[in-house]
Structure 1
């Protein structure tokens, strides 16, 4: 084997980051839909617990995540942990296709944009990944917000006086009847304000932390010694946990306000400022951080699972190059 062929077969750090142009898009979308649906099944109960904590009132306000989890099981059993799940899983496929396409195309364009500035790799990664996350989240909100509104209402139906529904279609029908199509986009501005910056912070934190970790391990510029698959997964998982911690702390207050707005009955339409005042009156400033524990766990667990699966998916769907 000649040296050129041998070098091409060594999976250096840079080869673990597969560009959009080198991916089989059809395979990515098909396999990715199944893979991420599986992750959603596993982590969906955490979202239900978080939402219940954010809208809690009266005695329920004092419950922590474990107590809320036990109460859901006691009252509704295991199905209670999956309220609204069918709606979410149906909407997840088109949402993720839009998200991943915007993410990868924006990331590739952003890296080319900052290349002339000769910035350090962690800074370049933070900028490109952050801008990509912002773009991807903003583009996917048109589908995500109505799905989010419907699923949130299903998650809290019958809880703390909330209306009961027969399913996702029933929610959509009643919301449209009471408030028109715009009712399905309640909290759209806050949702964009929550998820777009959240996505930007998550991807920026992940991109930069991953390179800092690789640098500490001596692999950032070492193209001769290939990192093992176990080490690659470990670094990606560590980056996901760090990104989840940063993101959950920064965005939980906005997420709490958004959730409150989305689950309220159509006849009660307080503004965001009124929701903030009520939360502070009920529970002080810490009221804005209701559900922080589940949100941190959800963000870290989902982010870590998602990024490990996604990076594996990209390697699985990479086009085979002839050597």
Structure 2
């Protein structure tokens, strides 16, 4: 790792990064996090596609309904498809993120913004770029998994696994069926990724300043637990900010992607239906589970991400180089 100056934020030297640790160990860690948080995605998706006649309209009622009809496995519908697609998606995302971040910092440096602002802009640009690169793989996985999540719920079709979903999509819509809602997906996840990384990069620096930490090596370095707590707090703030801003688009996207051929609607019709049924609050269906999932995911993911990307550097070195 190199720093242009001690007080500046510097990022990982991609050429010196331990790729085996970053990808192999990272895949295991992120898969474990996915196992823990996947039920939140199922609950969020079901809430977003619920109609005005659906009985289960709260997270707790959805959980009770799933456990009553399918037991614990019901909370993991579509999980196999997501895990299969998650590995290549994350490889693409993390590679694009790291290779873009250094260039983004150099691009914003001449503008002489404050350190939190520079971190927000550079991390935001890198996060959006990484999301755009990974959408080609992610969207088909998203379409299949979400159809499995809501099968049999609120009148939706039932399937015999991910391959059955894929066959029916090809039969009715062809390859383009895997990319239903692609534009909205890009509009949702790219800004979401940008907001997440921008919020994380800037909030972490603001927190350090509030804690009275300077930008040089004078004084005692913070403890490892303090550094981890600041990173975790930054992850929570980032997840909360991103979920609140992008949930409306996510709700529209989800509805478009799970619709059958017979019930197909345009984005405009989906918007009208949401307003008619619930008013403007309808766009925030599933906000609770999505808020929890993104915040919890952000906290665990950023700690794992920082660990993987730092290699053999100590927490003291991480603090002084990354603050």
Normalised by the size of structure 2, how large is the TM-score? 0.91
* Superposed CA offset, 1:34-65 (max 9, x none): 11000000000000000000011244366211
The alignment status of 1:258 with 2:253, answered yes or no, reads yes
Please list every run of 5 or more consecutive structure 2 residues that lacks an aligned counterpart in the other structure.
318-323
Higher mean alpha-carbon deviation, 232-241 vs 108-117, is at: 108-117
Please list every run of 5 or more consecutive structure 1 residues that lacks an aligned counterpart in the other structure.
1-7
The alignment status of 1:64 with 2:58, answered yes or no, reads yes
The alignment status of 1:203 with 2:197, answered yes or no, reads yes
The alignment status of 1:125 with 2:116, answered yes or no, reads no
1:1-323, aligned counterparts within 5 Å?
A: 18-60=12-54, 63-224=57-218, 225-316=220-311
| Number of residue pairs aligned between Structure 1 and Structure 2 | 310
Separation in 2, partners of 1:16, 1:129? 11
Residue 305 (structure 1) shift: 1.2
Could you say if the C-alpha distance between residues 122 and 219 of structure 1 is closer, same or farther in structure 2, counting changes exceeding 3 Å?
Answer: same
Residue 118 (structure 1) shift: 2.2
Separation in 2, partners of 1:316, 1:166? 43
Separation in 1, partners of 2:300, 2:90? 15
* Superposed CA offset, 1:2-51 (max 9, x none): xxxxxx9xxx9979964434411122111111110000000000000000
Residue 315 (structure 1) shift: 2.6
Residue 304 (structure 1) shift: 1.2
Which residue in 1 is equivalent to 2:321?
none
Q: Is the 8 A contact 1:205 1:243 kept in 2?
A: yes
Normalised by the size of structure 1, how large is the TM-score? 0.91
Question: What stretches of structure 1 move > 4 A for 4+ residues in a row?
Answer: 12-17
* Superposed CA offset, 1:227-269 (max 9, x none): 2211111001111111111111110000000000000002222
Q: Is the 8 A contact 2:21 2:308 kept in 1?
A: no
Could you say if the C-alpha distance between residues 142 and 279 of structure 1 is closer, same or farther in structure 2, counting changes exceeding 3 Å?
Answer: same
